[in-house]
Structure 1
Amino acid sequence: MMERFSNPVLLKELKLRFRAFKSFSGLMFYLAVLCIFVAGFLLIYTQFSGTGFFKPSDSFTMFAVLSILQMGLVMFITPGLTAGAISTEREKQTLNILLTTTQSSTQIILGKLASSVAFLILMLVAGLPLYSLVFLFGGVSPSQFIIIFLFYFLTLIAIGSIGIMFSTITKKTIVSMIATYGAMIFLGGITAFFFFIGMSMEQMAVHSGNLQNVTPFSPITYFWVSINPGALLITTLYPEMGNALESVVGISLPIWIVYLIFYILITIICLFIAIRKLRANMKTNR
């Protein structure tokens, strides 16, 4: 029964990834960045306050900035771990051997994705002691902490799926990485740009008095901000900003619902394409 659910590809990838020196050097770099930030934050705020201790509001500010920094690091590191999962095998000419095994395309793709996600989860867990400082000073509820990490988990799985898909449908790792980082720029930056453009057009229509003659931009504007990871993180940390956004856009649906549906669909679609195209690309190369 256990053999049916076992995944040799996942076990092999986990052993190779967690035994590699570059994995632990990357983890050390990640923790060093967080430690430098926390130490600098503590030093600056205790110097400015002149009292030598933190207020709960200062502690929450550190939690918010640390969460944003960690989200940026996750979005930067995840494409590098997943964008070469299949294309590297193709470049090393080991993909042919892998496809001649009894492993299905689903096991290969999910094994590659799960090994990358496992390492990213290790990075998040390794940063928990730094978050414990926030609970030491107070100002943050455990529910906010859990929601933030669930948000990280969903986002890194979706980004990993995008990287796996591009790694499968492209022949070169560099092309796959460029495409994956391009997708990250779109989700993190272009969507924010579209949101501000939509809001500006709405305000111009309101000021000109021709709102009845223009196509309403509120649903489209709301969609762009709903799929932006930064917007969801900020509205999760500061619920009042989410309420203000809903009142400005005119839609009362919480953005985390749209975010959840969108990124689950993205994950499913990307994994489906990767599974379907894995052996198709192999037949083409023959």
Structure 2
Amino acid sequence: MNWSRRMINPVMDKEFRLRMRSPRSMLSVLFYVLALGAIAMGFIYIFLYLGQNNSQRFDPTRSQLMFYVLSFAQLVLIAFMAPALTAGVISSEREKQTLSMLLTTQQSSATIVLSKLVSSLSFMTLIIVSTLPIYSIVFLYGGISPKQLVSVFLFYLFVMLLLGSLGVMFSTLFKKTIVAIIVTYGTGLVIFLVTGLLYLFFLGIEQRNMFMNPVPTTQTHSWIGYMLGLNPAGAMVSIFEPSFSKEVFLVQGGTLNSKAPISLWLEFVLVYSVVIVVSLWVAIRRIRSVRRGKLFGRKKASSPMPDASV
């Protein structure tokens, strides 16, 4: 009992009860698992009965493709759900005028922010874990190792933590929930889409320069690969295919034996770990700033004026 009280504080306990005990949560998990299962069954039907000329044989390479499709579908789900679940955890308390009461409790700022973050991401974690039976279909046909599955799910948790930390930070910086959600989605759009477009843009420029000036060079790697390392899709592909990182960094002067300076998924984790820490630090420091400012203003106004006759 003491262990549970230490791990689950009152703020987290309340959030867990509100999010997990509603019929809407149960139906959301049910319909999502059914939808993802329909995608998997449809994929098998298309390639087994239509794509294999009725040979009743499923190619293991198709199993890998199905795993990639399911994995990217999960990644898109996280990109849409994480900002909506976390971008209003603090601003909604402010709009309901309950934030002041929450700050007067014995819970520290770090406890409040981290409890809100964990409870908000717990529901999406439940959805992701509930799809494991669907992924087991892939193991019936082979082509995917359990290590890859575990790596992908750990990558999901990291992306959820990244978007959740940004959502909590913007929720403390902006007073309106709708503004915090819009800014969080905009930041997620930059991470998921703009980084990939910038990689393609600079890749086209470099390929054009190589074509216009085919001068031999001793450089075996290009800096453009670091741009793709900031994209979640590129990082996840490097988990599927470790050689993908080498192909991304490879330039005209390199060979297939050249090694990549860094794996894309490792660069993604290192860079955005700093973003997560900074976002949570800003949220913890900012959550009590307004209250402290008001309290300081009241003390200053109530302080007696110095006597001019002295």
Write out aligned runs for 1:1-286 (5 A): 2=3, 5-48=7-50, 49=52, 50-209=54-213, 218-219=222-223, 221-248=224-251, 251-283=260-292
Q: How far apart, CA to CA, are the structure 1 residues paired with 2:213 and 2:165?
A: 45
Q: What SS does the corresponding residue of 1:108 show, helix, strand or coil?
A: helix
**Displacement after TM superposition at 1:237 (Å):** 1.6
Q: What SS does the corresponding residue of 1:248 show, helix, strand or coil?
A: coil
Q: Read off the aligned partner of 1:34 and give its amino acid letter.
A: L
Q: How far apart, CA to CA, are the structure 1 residues paired with 2:235 and 2:18?
A: 35
Q: How far apart, CA to CA, are the structure 1 residues paired with 2:243 and 2:7?
A: 45
TM-score (norm 1): 0.91
Q: How far apart, CA to CA, are the structure 2 residues paired with 1:279 and 1:184?
A: 26
Q: Is the CA contact (8 Å cut-off) linking 1:246 and 1:253 kept in structure 2?
A: no
Q: Is the CA contact (8 Å cut-off) linking 1:163 and 1:180 kept in structure 2?
A: yes
**Displacement after TM superposition at 1:47 (Å):** 1.4
**Displacement after TM superposition at 1:256 (Å):** 1.8
Q: 1:5 to 1:27 in 2, by over 3 A?
A: closer
Structure 1 unaligned regions, length at least 5: none
Q: How far apart, CA to CA, are the structure 1 residues paired with 2:186 and 2:26?
A: 27
Q: Is the CA contact (8 Å cut-off) linking 2:63 and 2:142 kept in structure 1?
A: yes
**Displacement after TM superposition at 1:43 (Å):** 1.4
**Displacement after TM superposition at 1:210 (Å):** 8.9
Q: How far apart, CA to CA, are the structure 2 residues paired with 1:25 and 1:211?
A: 61
Q: 1:128 to 1:170 in 2, by over 3 A?
A: same
**Displacement after TM superposition at 1:11 (Å):** 1.3
Q: 1:29 to 1:179 in 2, by over 3 A?
A: farther
**Displacement after TM superposition at 1:15 (Å):** 1.1
Q: Is the CA contact (8 Å cut-off) linking 1:165 and 1:273 kept in structure 2?
A: yes
Q: How far apart, CA to CA, are the structure 1 residues paired with 2:163 and 2:173?
A: 16
Give the root-mean-square deviation of aligned CA atoms.
2.1
Q: Which moved more, 1:67-76 or 1:200-209?
A: 200-209
Q: Any idea what the Cα deviations from partners look like across 1:14-52, whole Å, max 9, x if unmatched?
A: 111101233223223322321221121121111121123
Q: Is the CA contact (8 Å cut-off) linking 1:191 and 1:224 kept in structure 2?
A: yes
Q: Is the CA contact (8 Å cut-off) linking 2:245 and 2:262 kept in structure 1?
A: no
Rg (Cα) greater in structure: 2
More helix by share: 1
Q: Is the CA contact (8 Å cut-off) linking 2:195 and 2:231 kept in structure 1?
A: yes
Q: Any idea what the Cα deviations from partners look like across 1:139-198, whole Å, max 9, x if unmatched?
A: 111111111111111111111101111111111111111111111110010001111111
Q: How far apart, CA to CA, are the structure 1 residues paired with 2:291 and 2:138?
A: 50
Q: How far apart, CA to CA, are the structure 1 residues paired with 2:130 and 2:99?
A: 33
Q: How far apart, CA to CA, are the structure 2 residues paired with 1:239 and 1:36?
A: 30
Q: Any idea what the Cα deviations from partners look like across 1:46-78, whole Å, max 9, x if unmatched?
A: 112112342211111111111111111111111
Alignment: residue pair count: 281
Q: What SS does the corresponding residue of 2:72 show, helix, strand or coil?
A: helix
Q: Is the CA contact (8 Å cut-off) linking 2:222 and 2:249 kept in structure 1?
A: no
TM-score (norm 2): 0.85
